[in-house]
Amino acid sequence: MSIFEQTKIESDLKKFTDRNFESPRKCKNPDQIKFYVRELCTKIEEYEKRFNYVPNWAYSLLAQYNQIQNEMVYVEFVKTYK
């Protein structure tokens, strides 16, 4: 795959995430995060199958959503069992 093709794929995915996702820190509840994680996983799988390439920052973004989700779950756990 050429550098041009990789750049195009990264650009397309970046446009998709900018248009459809909020940043992880702006998410308000676990359901919103869960939705974004599911959508991002679907997009990553699609890119793996179609192009055999996924930009590293997509995995980083997924990790950020997972981290925020874990923090929210922990806070709820502490509230519930306090």
- Angle at which helices 30-51 and 3-20 cross, to 10°: 160
Q: Are 27 and 36 in contact (CB under 8 A)?
A: yes
Domain ranges of the chain: 3-80
Q: What is the pLDDT of residue 11?
A: 95
pLDDT, average across residues 51-61: 95
* pLDDT, greater one: 42 or 1: 42
pLDDT-derived band at 21 (thresholds 50, 70, 90) equals very high
Distance CA 82, CA 29 (A): 20
Whether the predicted pLDDT of 77 surpasses 90? no
Q: Residue 59 is which amino acid?
A: Y
